[in-house]
Each structure stands twice: as structure tokens, then as C-alpha cells.
Amino acid sequence: MIPLLLALLSVPAFADSLDCELEREGKSMAVTSPLLEGSANTVVREANELDLGLDASLAPGSFLLVLQDNAKQVRSAFTGSTEAVGFAGSSLIGQDARVACRSSLGNPPNTMPSRPSLPDYLVCVLDEVTFVNGAIAESKRVLKRAVSTPLFKFPQAILGEAGSSAFSVRLHRMDFNKGLDVTLTDRGTGAFARFTGPAATLRTSFMLGLTQGDRATRAKFQRLGCVFSNDPKALD
């Protein structure tokens, strides 16, 4: 009993951490890293049975989540506010791969996240970029949407499509756990990246990206970016 008690006392009872889980076809792999002063980095680059890679980086002002599907040579990336890993956490989903991340806090806050007043517009842009031999061969903006925010007190769906790219942003500001659902799709190949997480993840802006292929040789990159602004010409 004494050795067991000593072992328990030697481990912090309320260690803060960033916890992620990779999943594919019913198999999963959990990874974790310590959370120190609001920062953590969880990385999986070595070969594994899921054939997936991960880069989850939490800083005091932002959260970056990257899911690398080595089998399909597809890379999904999301960046937004740190609210993404609060409460139930968030997920980044591909065709048959998924990663979910959340922060575990020894002393979690006892208050719900605030819902600050919004600027006049949510501005979203959709870009398509072609990489050849590691350099940008072509870059073009295929779509821009500026949506008035007064109606955001109700659940909203913002949709757009141009060329082979399509996106949807579904926002329910009263849903603190799963109020943001964003999807970016290549209609030609069927590849997609989907983020689901707390509504407060869209605090000021977010970016969702989808890369198909190897940028060192040839790849297609699609990027959706959205930002709250008082200027409908933001992101021009």
C-alpha cells in the first residue's frame, strides 16, 4: 500500500494537458502533451498503423490543427481561437480519417464563454492554389461572401461554390459545444475537410485548408478564410 501511495503522490493530481485522438476505420490512437502557460504542441509524424499524421498546436491566442492522411496524400488544416479545445473540444474530419482534440484542465473555468457583440459583417473568401515543384504556380480567388451579422442571433448557414470548390459554414452561437460546423469540399475528387467545434471558436476569424498531392511535386490547395469585420471589403 505504501509504494502505491507514494506513486500516486509523485504524479500531479491535476496536470493540464492537450489530449488528441486519431481515428481511422474503427482504430484509434491517443496522444497527449503537457499544457504549460496556455501552450502545448502534440505531434505525430512517425509511421503508425493508421497511416495518419498530426500537428496540434495551442498557443495563448490561437489553435492550429493539422491532419495528414498519408494513405490518400491529403492534408487538412484548421486554425481558429483557443475556444476550439474548450468544453467538449473539436474535431477535424476527412474522408475516412478524423482527429479530435480537447484540453484537460485541473481547475477548469466555472463560467460559460462570453458571446461578445459582433462587427457588421462576416467576410469569407475561397481560394485555389496550385503548387508545382514546391512553388506556387497559380493562385486565384474563386469566391467571396460578405454576410450581415444581425441575424446571427439565430442559427445561420452560409454556403458557396465556385469551380470545383464548395464550402458551408453553419454557426449557432447559442451552442457552446458544437455550434460551429465548417466544410470545404473538392467536388471533382470528393475530398473534403470538415471542422466541428464550439461556436466561440469563431471569435474573430478562422481558416480551413485542404491540400491534395505533394507540394514538392504537384498539389492542389483549397483555402476558406472567414473574418468578422465592419468593412465588407475586408480580405480584398
- Residue-level pLDDT at 109: 61
- Residue-level pLDDT at 5: 33
| Residue 220: partners with Cβ closer than 8 Å, 6 or more residues away | 128, 129, 130, 131, 186, 211, 212, 213
Measured CA to CA, the distance from residue 28 to residue 21 in angstroms comes to 7
Measured CA to CA, the distance from residue 145 to residue 232 in angstroms comes to 9
Residue 186, pLDDT > 70, answer yes
Domain ranges of the chain: 16-104+116-229
- How many Å is the Cα radius of gyration of the chain? 19
Whether residue 129 contacts residue 141, with contact meaning beta carbons closer than 8 Å, is answered with: no
Q: Nearest CA to 179 among 97, 230, 115?
A: 115
Tell me the mean pLDDT in the region 180-207.
96
- Residue-level pLDDT at 108: 63
Give this prediction's pTM: 0.89
Task: Give me the chain's average pLDDT, please.
Answer: 89
Buried/exposed 207-222: b ≥16 CB within 10 Å, e otherwise:
bbbbbbeebeeebbbb
- The pLDDT confidence band at residue 112, using thresholds 50, 70 and 90, is low
Whether residue 227 contacts residue 122, with contact meaning beta carbons closer than 8 Å, is answered with: yes
Whether residue 84 contacts residue 197, with contact meaning beta carbons closer than 8 Å, is answered with: yes
Residue 12, pLDDT > 50, answer no
Measured CA to CA, the distance from residue 68 to residue 213 in angstroms comes to 11
- Residue-level pLDDT at 88: 84
